[in-house]
Amino acid sequence: MFPSKSVANPDLEVTSSRRTVEGRQVDEAVASIFHTVLFHRSLGKFKYKQEGSYSVGTVGYEDVDCDFIDFTYVCCSSDNLDRNLKREISEFSEALRGNDGPGSGQISLEFFQKKKNRWPFQPECIPWEVWTVRLELIKLNNEHERQKCREKVGDMLTEKILYIAEVMNRHEYVPKMPNQSELDLIFDTSYPDVQPYLFKVR
């Protein structure tokens, strides 16, 4: 399992050998990485006053204990955000773990900004940061192996959280703060409690 990050240009994507997890750990492993990224990439809700001035709300956070991995991660306190992310991840997980599943695969969290296009064309989506997790499934034979794997995947995720913190604190490109009229081109304003940068999971 390896989350790699690329900015706009796919050539920058870091690749690494695939990491292994057990089937039922897939959802939690991916969620812990994506939620940590989204926690960093979500702001409080913008409330516009007149004359272009706005106030920013406050982001709450909560601890999540994993069931199948010895690991706790932090995510934004937003049920809707969690629900949407979990749904996307479980679609991936089911496809990966299905009977005729490939046994390995990758899932990406892509941040993008929209660029208005001439009518009647849809706005163009320009990715500015992509996080990719590659996974390879393994079969475990007994409880002992399972316990070992719980710890091993936890250690692996620890490394990834440290990596995410490192990248976030390099303060690389993030889109400029938009005007009120262009807010939807940069942020996902559909959530009532948080305002993440526009993202999609694929």
Partner 1 sequence: MATVKLSIQDKKDLDKFTKFLALKAAQIIVQSRLGEKVQTKCKPHSSGTDWFNLAIRDLPEVLAEAKRALCGEVVTARLPLCVEISLRTVEGDTMMLETWCLGVLPEQCDPSVRVTYTVYNRMGILLKSLVSVTRVTPAYKLSRLQGPDSYVICYRIYMGEPQLHNLGEGYNQVRVGQLCTPVGTLHLSVSYRTKLTISPQSTCRDNSIMLKSDHFHPDLSPRHLRYQQSEDNSASLSDTIKVGAFADSCRQPQSPLEPDLEMPNVPFSSLLTPRQQSPPQPSEPSVATGGGTETDDDGNGNVTPHCDSRRSSCSVVSGHEDFIMVDLKTPFAGGNTNSELGAFYLECQSAPQLKTFSEQPTLAEQVGDITKTLEAFETSMQEYDEMLNSLCLSDNNN
Catalog residues that contact partner 1 under the rule CB under 8 A: 36, 39-40, 43-45, 47, 55-63, 65, 70-74, 76-78, 157-158, 161-162, 164-166, 168-169, 171, 193-194
Nearer to partner 1 among residue 118 and residue 171 (C-beta): 171
Q: Whole-number minimum distance, CB 40 to partner 1, in Å?
A: 5
Nearer to partner 1 among residue 65 and residue 124 (C-beta): 65
CA distances from 22 to 4, 67, 143 (A): 20, 13, 12
Q: What are phi and psi of 82, to 5 degrees?
A: -65, -45
Structure tokens at 200: 């999609």
CB burial readout 4-25, b (16+ within 10 A) else e:
bbbeeeeeeeeeeeebbbbbeb
Q: Whole-number minimum distance, CB 150 to partner 1, in Å?
A: 12
Nearer to partner 1 among residue 59 and residue 183 (C-beta): 59
Q: Whole-number minimum distance, CB 22 to partner 1, in Å?
A: 20
Q: Whole-number minimum distance, CB 82 to partner 1, in Å?
A: 12
Q: Amino acid identity of 46? A: F
Nearer to partner 1 among residue 77 and residue 104 (C-beta): 77
Q: How far apart are CA 178 and CA 3, in angstroms?
A: 29
Nearer to partner 1 among residue 71 and residue 92 (C-beta): 71
Collapse the DSSP code of 141 into the 3-class scheme (helix H, G, I; strand E, B; otherwise coil) and give the result: coil
Is residue 3 within 8 Å of 33, Cβ to Cβ?
A: yes
Q: Whole-number minimum distance, CB 161 to partner 1, in Å?
A: 5
